[in-house]
Amino acid sequence: MRRLLCFTPRCLWSSMPALFALTLALLSCCRATEYEYLSWQSDLYTSGRIYGKQPQCVDIPDDLRLCHNVGYQQMLLPNLLEHETMAEMRQQAGSWVPLVHKNCHPGTQVFLCSLFAPVCLDRPIYPCRWLCEAVRDGCTPIMEAFGFPWPEMLTCEKFPQDDVCIAMSPANATETTKTQDSGICPPCDNEMQTDVILEHMCASEFAIKTKIKEVKRENSDRKVILQKKKKALKLGSLKKKDLKKLVLYLKNGADCPCQQLDNLGNMYLIMGRKVDKQYLLTGIHKWDKSSKEFKKAMKKVKSHKCPAFETVFK
């Protein structure tokens, strides 16, 4: 059966099935074309491990925050990342929510949801390789600031170049945001929203309450020296004895703005991760008891369930 695919922005973002008549664009052109759909036994879908059950259309769960408002209501399971259960998919997808919120590339959600929660069509449609590359290039600097590499499961070379694939409209396809050029340093995003604070906490191995003694520039990083008095809220693998001499680095943050590091008299919630032999600063929020959002986040810290980043970013 042959289908006519539309690649205009209007088609791309129209609702429900028409939406993905939108996103299914060819890498090499921006006009409608014909494509003969394959059956569900396509080589693309079965080239990985052998699935224990046939792909099914299921409702996208309400708690799948990564793909909220993506434009369609049902997804395929198993998905295109070989997640066979909804629980596995939820856990892995949750790790990417903070990246979408950072707006590192306008196609981040489209790219990720095409894999985690693929739309139900006659055959699986993968994201275009160039979309993967654009999202990777736009988001890798932010991911590295948090100590995460671009994961092997999203290696762009595995996605199609010349086949039907999911893309954004040409006007947005190569656009990257200015976060690294003119925006604030990613860990210094000081949104006083409960979810944002908890996301920073989840992306961090440890969290402490303390003041900053001194900030120095060291090559392309900023070295953050803390006051001796510290209160640990979350230690992770960090030993209590290491708190006294803890020094953090704002990765590639020598030149990007960070208002918190310019106001050393305040008390801060400071979060970090150990990457190689360095402790990276992954989040910093003013300790503001007058903020309802901040107080709410602090109450939720102990009970909040974080996604397993270590199983995703390898």
Strand spans (E) along the chain: 2-5, 24-26, 33-36, 56-59, 74-77, 164-166, 206-218, 221-234, 247-250, 267-275, 278-286
Helices (H), 27-116: 43-46, 86-94, 97-101, 108-116
Residue 59's pLDDT is what? Answer: 94
Residue 313's pLDDT is what? Answer: 63
What does each C-alpha distance from 270 to 193, 211, 285 come to in angstroms? Answer: 16, 9, 7
Give the 3-state secondary structure of 146-196.
Answer: CCCCCCHHHCHHHCCCCCEEECCCHHHHCCCCCCCCCCCCHHHCCCCCHHH
Residues 249, 273: Cα–Cα separation, whole Å: 10
Q: In 3-state terms, what secondary structure has residue 67?
A: helix
Provide block-wise average pLDDT over 10 residues at a time, the chain (314 residues): 30 32 30 27 41 80 88 92 91 86 90 95 91 95 89 94 78 43 74 82 90 94 94 88 90 92 92 91 92 92 77 59
Residue 310's pLDDT is what? Answer: 60
Q: In 3-state terms, what secondary structure has residue 231?
A: strand
Which is nearest to 167 in space by CA: 244, 221, 92, 114? 114
Domains of the chain as residue ranges with CATH = 2-173 (1.10.2000.10), 186-304 (2.40.50.120)
Residue 184's pLDDT is what? Answer: 84
The residues pairing with 164 across neighbouring beta strands, listed in sequence order, are 26
Residue 314's pLDDT is what? Answer: 52
Helices (H), 48-128: 86-94, 97-101, 108-116
Residues 288, 191: Cα–Cα separation, whole Å: 12
Evaluate the CA torsion angle 202, 204, 206, 211 in order and state its sign: negative
Q: Which residue has the tokens 């008549």?
A: 21
Sort 267 into a burial class: Cβ within 10 Å, 0-12 / 13-18 / 19+.
Answer: middle
| Furthest CA-CA distance within the chain | 70
